[in-house]
Amino acid sequence: MKKILMIFTTLLLSATVYSQIGYVNGSDFGTFFKTCCVYNQTDMLTQHTSKQSIEKHGKSAIINFYNNFEISKQETWKFVVSETNGNLVKQTYTRSLTGAYSKEIIFNLIKEDGVWKMIVPDKL
């Protein structure tokens, strides 16, 4: 009985983490985005790009945007704030490389088919 309760609790906690606002595959969107960029996972990023962005810019332009996004494994990203408006979320992070500089990055997300997806900026 104890083992069943522990498994149920683990499943319940997992479901809670994965359904949090702006989370993808158990990570906040910034961490997910950074990992995909560092390891050149443009397929995964494209799957998590909003339909409206793909229709507006085209898949090849979005893939180029992701491939040209400058990012380093050594960068530190710190979550700052999340603002919610219905099924839209704006997450703000600061990026820094060993404290040498700090830059703000904002992700605009939309929930499509139960999954959080990024709205690509108008200017690629």
**Residue 123, in any domain of the structure:** no
**Cβ pair 121, 49 in contact under 8 A:** no
Amino acid of residue 65: F
**Residue 51, in any domain of the structure:** yes
**Residue 100, in any domain of the structure:** yes
Separation between Cα atoms, residue 26 and residue 17, nearest integer Å? 6
Q: What is the pLDDT of residues 67-100, one digit of tens each?
A: 988 887 778 888 888 888 888 899 888 888 766 6
Note the pLDDT of residue 57. 96
Q: 112 is in which domain, residue-wise?
A: 2-118
Q: What is the CATH number of the domain that holds 75?
A: 3.10.450
pTM for this structure? 0.75
Domain count for the chain, please give it.
1
**Residue 90, in any domain of the structure:** yes
